[in-house]
Amino acid sequence: MGWRRVARQFLPAAIVLGGLAFLGRELLQNWNDLRDTSTAIDWGQFGLATGLLWAAWTLLSIPTWLAIRQLRAPGTWRQATALFNVSQAPKYLPGGLWALPGRMLLYQRYYRVKPGPGAWAVLFETLALLAGALLIGGWGLFSADRLLVYGGALGLLGGLALIAAAASQRWLRAWLGRLHWLPTNAFRLRDLPASPIGGRVFGWMTLSLLTFWVLTGLAFTQLLESTPSGRDSINWYEATSMYALAWSAGFLVILAPAGLGVRESALIVLLNAFLARDDALLLALLARLWWTIAEGIWILIGLALLRGISPAPAVENGLPAP
């Protein structure tokens, strides 16, 4: 077994375990300070921040709605909301990316979209979400903190690279062909016919998700206001960049269920340039609770909406009309 194969198999798991170990060590070392600081949380402000995130979440269904329309399926925004949010539940299982094949199965179940076009649709939705997060993370370039500037530069370059990949299917196929260790390889996207998702639709997907990340950044800034140390300590564009970059880090480490441990570790490191260690740890934990509550509510809403949806007639090849 070559070293590259070993790295492909064990590096993602090592990153996840390292992130959880880092988070556990921070909890142990700062437990007393954390316990004292947590009593000063303004739960009213926390509730407002959660409500803002919950409202911003409505934008996450737009790419799914656009994909359904592009696949010639008679889908509504209500149905897109149900499909997207229900598909988020499996990502809390080990492996992290189970939400993606889960959404493909929902496309097949409710719209009879063939696996090929469905896989392309889910891939482009995911690329738009990650590209939006990385581009918004690029706002860190305007920060006075050097680490956040470096992170912002990487985010901006990464976001532009994803947009370029989506614009060039040939380049994207070549890139996917190298990812033998990712679950996406099981979809065999490089062997599929042309994607039914065009550049214009992908542009609208990305624009809607850029808006989502801006609103999420405002909600995260409100979350900072719920703690004494976080009030007036970080500019809103820096807070937005931090959370988008931390979320991206957790997403990219695919074995971490919902980015658990990795997202928090990245957020602690970024926040620590502005706040004390125990305050950064508290906010990272609050951010996980904040995100999980909003997401959990939307998953329940999705399940309720899905009960009223009947499978649609078959879609002709899952491709847009000529």
What pLDDT is recorded for position 1?
A: 46
Tokens of 145: 């903190």
The pLDDT score that the predictor gives to residue 182 is 47
Q: What is the structure's pLDDT at 2?
A: 54
Residue 140: partners with Cβ closer than 8 Å, 6 or more residues away: 148, 149, 151, 152, 153, 155, 238, 241, 242, 245
Domain membership flag for residue 34: no
| CB-based contact 271:285 (threshold 8 Å) | no
Give a yes or no: residue 192 inside a domain.
Answer: yes
Q: Give pLDDT, residue 319.
A: 45
- Looking at residue 310, its pLDDT comes to 67
Nearby residues of 222 by Cβ (< 8 Å), 6 or more positions away? 45, 48, 49, 52
- Report yes or no on 311 lying in a domain: no
Of 182, 176, 172, 241, nearest to 202 by C-alpha is 172
Residue 127 inside a domain? The answer is: yes
Please count the structural domains in the chain.
1
Establish if 106 belongs to a structural domain: yes
CB distance 215 to 55 below 8 Å: yes
Please state, in angstroms and rounded to a whole number, the distance separating the CA atoms of residues 322 and 311: 24
* Residue 321 within any structural domain of the chain: no
Instruction: Report the predicted TM-score, pTM, of the whole model to 2 decimal places.
Output: 0.81
**303 vs 143: CA distance, rounded Å:** 41
Residue whose C-alpha is closest to residue 27's, from 288, 287, 265, 266? 265
The answer to whether residues 137 and 149 touch, using CB atoms and an 8 Å cutoff, is no
Q: Which residue segment(s) compose the domain that 192 sits in? A: 43-306
Helix, strand, coil content of the chain in percent (nearest 5)? 75, 0, 25
Residue 21 in any domain: the answer is: no
pLDDT of residue 214: 95
The verdict on residue 16 lying in a domain is no
Q: pLDDT averaged over consecutive 10-residue blocks of the chain (322 residues)?
A: 50 51 54 60 86 91 86 75 83 66 77 76 88 92 86 91 78 58 48 70 92 95 84 86 93 76 88 85 85 87 80 51 38
